[in-house]
A and B are shown apart, each in its own frame.
Chain A
Amino acid sequence: EAGVAQSPRYKIIEKRQSVAFWCNPISGHATLYWYQQILGQGPKLLIQFQNNGVVDDSQLPKDRFSAERLKGVDSTLKIQPAKLEDSAVYLCASSSRFPTEAFFGQGTRLTVV
């Protein structure tokens, strides 16, 4: 069974630039999560989808972050414009049904300079 795929693995951008991350969950998984993990901290939920509907985006900085999950499969997370404090690992995870085990992708390590 293929795991959660994320790209790119690494990204370095200047502040005020835009960046987008892509995630393809495990086939058949209805729930998709985007987490932000800052060095030394636990993952923080940014947004959670159930199929193509948003379940929770209460911690998503909506003035600069956006996410979509068209057709209820893969998803993109965008930051525009980026700030220095956005430097973190962005983890995508999926699960077959809530709240069973969440499987994580390898993450995208973003550095904003």
Chain B
Amino acid sequence: RKEVEQDPGPFNVPEGATVAFNCTYSNSASQSFFWYRQDCRKEPKLLMSVYSSGNEDGRFTAQLNRASQYISLLIRDSKLSDSATYLCVVNVPSDYKLSFGAGTTVTVRA
């Protein structure tokens, strides 16, 4: 089983719609969780860290479910500029590494 698994999509949504997707992780000892955004042919950039209580940053909401070992990202009121690949990143402290999922592609259409 892969360390981090994501629904690859693509999620094709109209402007203004809400889109949500999950990421599952295999190691229950995982402690830190992040969502990165990667635009086409660009480097990944941190979108938000995911805290145990869940957190919100404008139109973006991230949640963590430790019991079921998944994190989610919800985008409200989608903009054309939200079109990108969203990478789920998980850390296991004992491994000292950040493990990336394959990414979920979101396309927002006018």
The chain A residues found within 8 Å of chain B, CB to CB, are: 33, 35, 40-45, 48, 50, 55-56, 91, 98-99, 101-102, 104-107
Asked if A107 contacts B46 (CB within 8 A), the reply is: no
Asked if A41 contacts B102 (CB within 8 A), the reply is: yes
Asked if A91 contacts B43 (CB within 8 A), the reply is: yes
Could you say which of B57-65, B70-78, B90-98 contacts chain A?
A: B90-98
Q: Report, nearest first, the 7 A-B pairs whose CB atoms are least far apart.
A: A104-B43, A42-B100, A99-B91, A42-B102, A101-B46, A43-B100, A99-B32
The chain B residues found within 8 Å of chain A, CB to CB, are: 4, 6, 31-32, 34, 42-46, 49, 87, 91, 93, 95-103
A-B contact pairs, 24 of them (CB 8 A): A33-B98, A41-B102, A42-B4, A42-B6, A42-B87, A42-B102, A43-B44, A43-B100, A45-B100, A48-B96, A55-B96, A91-B44, A98-B96, A99-B91, A99-B96, A99-B98, A101-B34, A101-B46, A101-B49, A102-B46, A102-B98, A104-B45, A105-B43, A106-B42
Closest beta carbon of chain B to A95's beta carbon, Å: 9
Asked if B96 contacts A42 (CB within 8 A), the reply is: no
| Closest chain B residue to A99, Cβ basis | B91
Alpha-carbon separation in the docked complex, A70 to B84 (Å): 36
Alpha-carbon separation in the docked complex, A40 to B32 (Å): 24
Alpha-carbon separation in the docked complex, A102 to B96 (Å): 13
